[in-house]
Amino acid sequence: MLVLIVLLTFASLTLGVMSLYWLLGRTTTTVEARLDVVDPSLVSVENSPLTTMTRAAEPINKIVPISAVEAAKLQKQLMHAGFSSPDAAVAYRAIQLLSFATLPTVVVIFCLSMSWSFNTTLIWGALAAALGFYLPRVILKKKIAGRQQRIRWALADALDLMVIAVEAGLGLNAALNRVGEELKDLHPDMHRELELVNLEIRVGRSREEALRNLTERTGVDDIRSFVALLIQADRFGSSIAKAVRVFADALRTKRRQRAEQESAKAALKLLIPLTAFLFPVIVSMILAPAALNLIDLFTK
């Protein structure tokens, strides 16, 4: 058992040193150095950290392959979380498999070093394996929920700015570009999505297709309704400013209703801590004098 611990420790240290050397001590080629001098954005995408991680993760993903349906679903979830790179799914899968293998190994080594029983080590190893497998999923869901919430809050400001821009005489494409620039510092997620819409329109895609791609990237219901409104207004030639103003009023009403719903749920949620912590203390304080009197009475 001591030999196994020594071998695992040596392997971990070796992998850690190799990773530090790859990240910090890797020399750049002449082409990369020249591109850095000209424009850092022109450096080849093949040398990005995500692509490097993807190449290192390919053998791991070949050992435990994923189906096409699950891969498409995972790619969509990563896109909702803000990771739009085509290599993001492979990198996420590698991180999940590595955490699934590394965390139970560390826990088992710790249990063996503490001389725990086999059953206890097996239980803690299984729990660590389950935690290592589901922890990346939980983190991904948290990032998706946080990003979608930020986009929902940014949509109200974007609608107000769009109404002002359209009424000032700008077209829809110019208004989207202007709104995206104005939201750059306050709402970076919304700025990035609107910037991608403008870039897709510039490269030749239709406005309808670019707006539908915005819906697919965000996964927010309010964005989906807003995109449907813009497409219908563009098709039928109606006033975009009037349609956006009406949608903004409806969105504010919906946000107010959501706030009222959450406030109504708060009273019900408070019953659990009150029942679990406050009521027992009150009951014990009320009954404590009577209990002390009974104790004194029966001890005499």
- pLDDT of 57-94, one tens digit each? 555 555 556 667 777 888 888 889 888 887 788 888 88
On average, the pLDDT of the chain sits at 79
Q: Is residue 121 domain-resident?
A: no
Q: Is residue 23 domain-resident?
A: no
- Cα gap 176→179, rounded to integer Å: 5
Q: By three-state DSSP, how is residue 83 classified? A: coil
- Give me the pLDDT at residue 44, please: 42
- CA proximity to 176, closest of 249, 227, 219: 227
Q: Give yes or no for residue 291 having a pLDDT over 80.
A: yes
Domain count, the chain: 1
Q: Is residue 298 domain-resident?
A: no
Q: Is residue 198 domain-resident?
A: yes
Question: What are the angstrom distances between the C-alpha of 109 and each of 19, 27, 118, 184, 287?
Answer: 22, 36, 12, 48, 51
Q: Give yes or no for residue 16 having a pLDDT over 50.
A: yes
Domain hosting 206: range is: 148-254
- Give me the pLDDT at residue 147, please: 92
- Give me the pLDDT at residue 207, please: 87
Q: Is residue 6 domain-resident?
A: no
What's the mean pLDDT in 33-39?
A: 49
Banded model confidence at residue 43, pLDDT cuts 50, 70, 90:
very low
Q: Is residue 138 domain-resident?
A: no
Residue 168 sits in a domain whose CATH number is 1.20.81
Q: Give yes or no for residue 179 having a pLDDT over 50.
A: yes
- Cα gap 72→102, rounded to integer Å: 26
Q: Is residue 207 domain-resident?
A: yes
- pLDDT of 192-217, one tens digit each? 999 999 999 888 888 889 989 999 88
- CA proximity to 225, closest of 163, 155, 170, 171: 155
- Give me the pLDDT at residue 138, please: 92
Between 145 and 293, residue with greater pLDDT: 145
Q: Is residue 153 domain-resident?
A: yes
- Cα gap 209→168, rounded to integer Å: 26
Q: Give yes or no for residue 144 having a pLDDT over 90.
A: yes
- pLDDT of 217-260, one tens digit each? 898 888 998 899 888 888 887 788 888 888 888 888 888 888 88
Please tell me whether the overall predicted TM-score, pTM, comes out greater than 0.75 for this model.
no
- Give me the pLDDT at residue 143, please: 92
